[in-house]
Amino acid sequence: MFYLDIVTPDKPFFSDEVEMVIVRGIEGDMAILEGRAPITTPLKIGKVRIFQNGEEKIAAVVDGYISVVDNKTTIVTEAAEWPHEIDVERAEAAKERAENLLKSEKDNIDIERAELALRRAINRLEVSNLKKFDE
């Protein structure tokens, strides 16, 4: 077991001992276990899978970084949501807006920003469908 903290600019999101956490880093998914060598690396939009007491909890996160030092793992992210906290209608509307922007032929569109919004909306929708954790 090791200690996991997930924090956002708004609030602490999760703080407890866990057996394992899986996150999406810039080079793909990585699992963190007790005794992991120290590391600090950026995170991408994705799911955080938390394994605790034989159960899996899943949350949607947006970018940020993960730091592992002395059996304490800290995830700092722009936003984190449990599946039941996700406003599905809002996420679907954001996905549709981003898709429409990307299909648009206007010259003044920030493609990178639209693609980021689309990835975030898709991640939120995927996590909302999991319903793995009912807090």
Q: Residue 86 and residue 126: Cα distance in Å, rounded?
A: 10
Chain segment 37-86, per-residue pLDDT in tens: 999 999 999 999 999 999 999 999 998 999 999 999 999 999 999 999 99
pTM (two decimals): 0.87
110: exposed, middle or buried (Cβ count in 10 Å: 0-12, 13-18, 19+): exposed
Q: Which of 64, 79, 86 is nearest to 132 (CA)?
A: 86
Which homologous superfamily does the CATH classification assign to the domain defined by 88-131? ATP synthase delta/epsilon subunit, C-terminal domain (1.20.5.440)
Q: Residue 58 and residue 85: Cα distance in Å, rounded?
A: 12
112: pLDDT strictly greater than 90: no
Spelled out in words, what is the top-level CATH class assigned to the domain 2-81? mainly beta
Q: Where in the chain is the domain with CATH 2.60.15.10?
A: 2-81
